[in-house]
Chains A and B, each alone.
Chain A
Amino acid sequence: MAQNDLALLIAIKRYPGFGGNAASGSQDLKGPENDASAFYDWLTDPNGGDVPAAHIFRKTSADFPAGGQIGPAQAHLKQELDALRAELKKTPKKRRLYIYVSGHGYGRRRTEGGLYLADATQTSLTNLFVTDYFHWFLDAAHVDECVLFYDACMDQGRLAAPTPIHWRREIRVHGHNTKAVGAFAARFAGRAVEGTMADGKAHGAFSYALKLALEGAAAVVDANGDRVITSDSLRDYLIATMHKLMTDAQRQHPMVSTEPDFGPFDSLTLVKNAPVFQRPVEVSLPPPVANATLQLANAALDDLGPVSASGGRVTLTLEPGLFNLSHDDGWEAAFEFTGAETLIDLELQDQDDADTDSAGPG
């Protein structure tokens, strides 16, 4: 067990006063509690983060039922942060701190942002300057590694200045030895989005891609032949997957960031011995091969064997990666599978490819 790891989870779903004159709850989100639960499950999973439950400091909207006290607010989070800091300072020195936040957010500049709190109103934008705390942990160097997952918008809206951190800085000479990874759902000054995902629940697009990644979809094989999830493989997976979890309207929206952002960014091994990730996916085929026997190949063009299509569909069980389906008559189509897709439409892709590809001297 990762006895020396700790985590802070903040997820804010309900914003009863955020909408001004609009109906209470008009600014509520749907995904943050589901996302925080999914991340908590991964953190406590022996095959995941393997963090002791006692080391996880969690404050979410679920702690404040609708109709009761409004939270999490500043006081609740200060209490949680103070408890975390006290635990961090205990010996032995801690290895890693995970910070996961989800809710309405703001950006101050690139990779600097925070969360609006549950008691925020049009005239009082209470907030937690998340990245200032993140940098406090880096400067104070109570941990060797610090990882931030930030699922919130990065546009500033009406906020003029973030609320400063409530601790005095603890800058250590060797503080910069703390390795760090910051992963953000949106580039500055873009918006993050949520939607209903394949599990039937509402999630943030970033958090759901993160969930898949940590379940093993972002694993790569290292030099020792072990399946590992590194900060690099996680970044690459999130970039490939997040926009696939958005609707067309979200992808085309000028304010929505279809790519996550990263910084600071050190090379870390986040998970050793990551589980194998395989998911079924249905592939839609064009009429000429609708009922054909096709050859499946991986990205290195190794033959993975025949698959039989029926009625223009074939169901495959795949690990994430790039694949090719081909037929003896010369038809072939390559596709990407991240684990987020439930249907891959090669019928449509077949038409598009004809317009753009050409073999030649190059």
Chain B
Amino acid sequence: MPILTVQAQDETTEIFVVATDFALRARGARRLKQDLEPGIYKVRAVSGRSEWQRVVVLRDNMNIDVPTIEFGSAAPLAHTSRTHETHMSAAEQAAPPDLDEDTHAAFAHSAGPASRPSHSGSLVFMARWWTPWHDSGPQKLNDPAWGASLATGGGRRLMSLASRGEGARYEAQTEAGSQIAPVATWFSGDLAQDRYSGVSLRAHPGIYTLGLYDGEGKSEQPITILPGWRTHVFALYEPSQGGGGDVWTGPRKRLVDISVHITRGGLSVSDDIVRLTDAARFALADERSSATSELLNYVRGKFQNPMLGLYGAHLLLLLKQKASAASIERPVGYDDGLFHEVLENTASLFGEDHPDIAALRGKDARTETLRFPPMLSHGWKNLLDASADRPELVPPRLWRRTAQRTRTEPFFAWRIPQYQSEQIMLRQIDLTRAVLDAAAEQERYDPDAAGLRDRAADPKIRDSFVRDCITRFEAPRSVIDMIL
């Protein structure tokens, strides 16, 4: 029988071979080699959320090279579908001002020796518009960074990230307190169409909260600034089309995608690893089986991409948990040794007390109580699961702060509603009612569960019920225990 060999450029590409009845005949990750009856087959390759297809006639051995598949990303990277050269150039050139030693020293001194900030990390935030329909003409689009803000990990507002003046590039005072260097560089461009704007600044390493606005209000999510590294955050917005058509109508400003990269210094938009990191992000968001050994090679040893380490570790964990409706088994499996190697490497960059590392370690987390939520929603799910055995790990205040969750997979994000305290109170009431209803239902269904609501049930039955509630209501044990 002839052999079909398919090889893809990207490490995160999933490959499928489909027969005439549309049934899957073979699948692979990045490469596939399969002997098949002579005939016609369709080769599908999926990367990010885009795919490439080719129908081939197989008579003799055949090699197929799958080209780089363009996918849409908030980061204006080479070989992605939603970018302009101006956006790419701005992303590459974005850099914070050099540290003025005198200013920095004076500023650090005024902060007091006990809390002297190092400003050894940096952040580039870039928001940009993208109008995918070209027949409607340029639209007047405001500053895409409008409403964006930076807060401490605990949520105390530090500064606005929106433009502060006119000009392609200018420096201005941050007035954000000691954690942020006193001067930052703002930049903007393409004002007539698909406008972009952003800011680059130096900051004390740690966990921060990024606030973003879209047509539905404000959302927040954690970001991390590591010492000696630069965190790049990209937010992609689209206007609504209006007037109907094939693209849905919607709020005036739609947050389409968020991309986060952490690099040593500047970001190279044509760096394959950066693009691979975004492909891995989509793979995690869509829970695809893309954790190839080649992908994970990039996070072995002394690697240079902390976000890829997080994505890779979670992709591996997915392989451990995932059930599939597909007719052919996926070609990659969970490797415990590899997972722990990736975890240790990633932990050496983020630190053991980082919530995303605690999330990957689960109940073996080497930290007592988390102060901040994780960056990734898969991490939050892991932490909830771990809280079943370690109730102190996820305190009620973390759940309360993030109670109005929104989905910007794979990131963990939550809404800041207009009447926040009232909305959170309603969420608490909803949860309390739901848990008590479930307990009453369980007591009716299972006589042995009597006393669940009175703290009088058999401890084993209660524990089993609480674990079920953690999954069902997406709340940590500390909160469920308060209700029951």
Instruction: With A254-B236, A334-B57 as known contacts, state yes or no: A299 contacts B246, CB within 8 Å.
Output: no
Q: Which residues of B contact A22 (CB under 8 A)?
A: 251
Interface residues on A, range: 35 or more
B67 within 8 A of A: yes
Which residue of chain A is the closest to B51 with respect to CB atoms?
Answer: A258
Q: CB distance A254 to B257 under 8 Å? A: yes
Q: Which residues of A contact B38 (CB under 8 A)?
A: 301
A288 within 8 A of B: no
**One of B21, B246, B285 near A321 (C-beta < 8 A):** B21
A168 within 8 A of B: yes
Q: 8 Å CB contacts to B: which residues of A224-268?
A: 232-233, 235-237, 239-240, 243, 247, 249-259, 262-263, 265
Which one of A33-41, A50-58, A62-70, A150-158 is at the interface? A150-158
Q: CB distance B55 to A334 under 8 Å? A: yes
Chain A's nearest CB lies how many Å from the CB of B463?
19
A357 within 8 A of B: yes
Q: CB distance B50 to A168 under 8 Å? A: no
Chain B's nearest CB lies how many Å from the CB of A274?
13
Q: CB distance A356 to B64 under 8 Å? A: yes
A110 within 8 A of B: yes
Q: 8 Å CB contacts to A: which residues of B374-406?
A: 403-406
Q: CB distance A298 to B20 under 8 Å? A: yes
Q: CB distance B434 to A157 under 8 Å? A: no
Q: CB distance B256 to A255 under 8 Å? A: yes
A300 within 8 A of B: yes
B190 within 8 A of A: no
Assembled-state Cα–Cα distance A359/B57 (Å) = 11
Q: CB distance B21 to A233 under 8 Å? A: yes
Q: CB distance A169 to B82 under 8 Å? A: no
B409 within 8 A of A: yes
Assembled-state Cα–Cα distance A324/B50 (Å) = 26
B239 within 8 A of A: no
Instruction: With A107-B407, A164-B434, A334-B55 as known contacts, state yes or no: A193 contacts B217, CB within 8 Å.
Output: no
B461 within 8 A of A: no
Residues 39-52 of A, flagged 1 when their CB comes within 8 A of B and 0 if not, give 00000000000000
Chain A's nearest CB lies how many Å from the CB of B10?
15
B71 within 8 A of A: yes
Assembled-state Cα–Cα distance A239/B5 (Å) = 22
Q: Which residues of B contact A26 (CB under 8 A)?
A: 249
Chain A's nearest CB lies how many Å from the CB of B212?
14
Assembled-state Cα–Cα distance A262/B82 (Å) = 29
Of the listed residues A168, A250, A362, the one surrounded by the most CB atoms of chain B closer than 10 A to its CB is A362
Q: Which residues of A contact B56 (CB under 8 A)?
A: 334, 357
Q: CB distance A336 to B287 under 8 Å? A: no
Assembled-state Cα–Cα distance A257/B285 (Å) = 11
Interface residues on B, range: 35 or more
A160 within 8 A of B: yes
Of the listed residues A26, A253, A254, the one surrounded by the most CB atoms of chain B closer than 10 A to its CB is A254
Which one of B39-47, B149-157, B334-342, B343-351 is at the interface? B39-47
B54 within 8 A of A: yes
Which residue of chain A is the closest to B471 with respect to CB atoms?
Answer: A109
Q: CB distance B19 to A322 under 8 Å? A: yes
A353 within 8 A of B: yes
Assembled-state Cα–Cα distance A184/B437 (Å) = 29
Chain A's nearest CB lies how many Å from the CB of B215?
9
Chain B's nearest CB lies how many Å from the CB of A236?
4
Chain A's nearest CB lies how many Å from the CB of B318?
10
Q: CB distance A252 to B82 under 8 Å? A: yes
Q: CB distance B41 to A322 under 8 Å? A: yes
Q: Which residues of B contact A258 (CB under 8 A)?
A: 49-51
Instruction: With A156-B406, A300-B39, A324-B40 as known contacts, state yes or no: A243 contacts B51, CB within 8 Å.
Output: yes
Q: Which residues of A contact B37 (CB under 8 A)?
A: 300
Of the listed residues B2, B71, B74, B325, the one surrounded by the most CB atoms of chain A closer than 10 A to its CB is B325
A352 within 8 A of B: yes
Q: CB distance B444 to A168 under 8 Å? A: yes
Assembled-state Cα–Cα distance A195/B404 (Å) = 32
Q: Which residues of B contact A237 (CB under 8 A)?
A: 22
Chain A's nearest CB lies how many Å from the CB of B339?
21
Q: CB distance B407 to A155 under 8 Å? A: yes
Instruction: With A107-B407, A168-B444, A236-B22 as known contacts, state yes or no: A358 contacts B63, CB within 8 Å.
Output: yes
B residues apposed to A, CB below 8 Å = 2-5, 18-24, 33, 37-42, 46, 48-51, 53-57, 59-67, 71-74, 81-82, 132-133, 216-217, 236, 244, 246-251, 256-257, 282, 285-287, 323, 325, 327, 403-409, 415, 423, 427, 430-431, 434, 437, 441, 444-445, 473
List the 4 closest pairs (A to B, CB-CB), nearest first: A299-B20, A265-B325, A362-B61, A156-B407
